[in-house]
Amino acid sequence: MNNTRRKAIQAIIDKLEDLKSEVEMLKDEEQEAFENLPEGIQASERGEAMETAAYNLEEAYDNLDSVIDSLTESIEQ
């Protein structure tokens, strides 16, 4: 791989790292909001939706991490 493509991939990695941080922040906020709900509301439809949203954000975070790892491996070859 030439340096031009390596630099382009590194720029993508940098953008994804920023996005990953934003997703993590949102996930933490949603999880904290869920945890601060009374137990009765946590078990309600609203609470379950919040918990699911936090879980989905965690999954997105993990997927971004995998993408970043794959891109990093591609420029290290």
Domain boundaries, the chain: 3-76
Q: Are 54 and 34 in contact, with CB atoms under 8 Å apart? A: yes
Q: How far apart are CA 77 and CA 75, in angstroms?
A: 6
pLDDT for 77 = 78
pLDDT for 65 = 96
pLDDT for 25 = 98
Q: How confident is the model at residue 34 (pLDDT cuts 50, 70, 90)?
A: very high
Read off the pTM.
Answer: 0.87
Mean pLDDT of the 29-56 span: 96
Mean pLDDT of the 37-66 span: 96
Phi–psi pair at 12, nearest 5 degrees: -65, -45
Mean pLDDT of the 15-24 span: 98
